[in-house]
């Protein structure tokens, strides 16, 4: 059985500084909501893994299009794709739903889906931020963090 953790401690901000104080706490959502958000996040990750910057941009949500340029997004995808040593196996870490992900982003229906995967010497965390628009989950953010393991070997 897959354990889905609420990303209550997850802070996703599109703004510099500490403007998270007014943001609502995320909820776990229903099993159907979690399944739909995970499916959408995995679909976007497959596109990113293929280096399909054009495809992800074409399906990006309004928030992402308003906060970055297509050129900047394509450059970010190129940087992510440079690390071809990543294992394709991703484990779902958690999903959280909220009406707000940043003080500068309008209220709406948002999901943050976090995955983890292991490298030889590091753990990689990937967060996909989605916004529901026109009945579909649209990509509005992608965050990658790599944490080197100490004492490995």
CATH topology of domain 31-148: Nuclear Transport Factor 2; Chain: A, (3.10.450)
Q: What is the mean pLDDT of residues 111-132?
A: 87
- The Cα–Cα gap between 106 and 120 comes to 40
For residue 21, name the pLDDT band (cuts at 50, 70, 90): low
Mean pLDDT of 88-103: 85
For residue 48, the surrounding DSSP H or E stretch is: helix 31-49
pLDDT digits (tens, 9 = 90+) for 139-148: 999 888 888 7
CA–CA–CA angle 60, 94, 65 (5° rounding)? 15
Angstrom distance (rounded) from CA 14 to CA 112? 13
Residue-range domain boundaries for the chain: 31-148
pLDDT-based confidence at residue 34 (cuts at 50, 70, 90):
very high
Q: What is the DSSP letter of 111?
A: E
First vs last C-alpha separation in the chain: 31
pTM above 0.85, yes or no: no
The pLDDT mean for the chain works out to: 78
Q: Could you tell me which of 12, 100, 86, 96 has the C-alpha nearest to residue 48? A: 86
Q: Distance between CA atoms of 127 and 50, rounded to whole angstroms?
A: 17
Quickly count: other Cβ atoms within 10 Å of residue 151's Cβ.
4
């Amino acid at each position: 059985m897959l354990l889905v953790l609420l990303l209550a401690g997850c802070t996703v901000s599109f703004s510099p500084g500490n403007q998270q104080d007014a943001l609502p706490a995320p909820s776990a959502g229903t099993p159907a909501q979690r399944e739909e958000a995970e499916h959408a996040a995995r679909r976007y990750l497959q596109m990113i893994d293929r280096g399909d910057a054009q495809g992800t941009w074409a399906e990006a949500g309004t928030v992402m299009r308003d906060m970055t340029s297509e050129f900047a997004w394509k450059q970010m995808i190129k940087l992510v794709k440079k690390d071809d040593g990543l294992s394709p196996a991703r484990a779902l870490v958690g999903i959280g739903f909220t009406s707000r992900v940043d003080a500068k982003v309008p209220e709406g229906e948002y999901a943050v889906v976090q995955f983890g995967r292991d490298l030889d010497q590091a753990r990689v965390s990937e967060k996909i931020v989605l916004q529901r628009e026109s009945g579909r989950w649209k990509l509005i953010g992608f965050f990658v963090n790599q944490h080197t393991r100490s004492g490995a070997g």
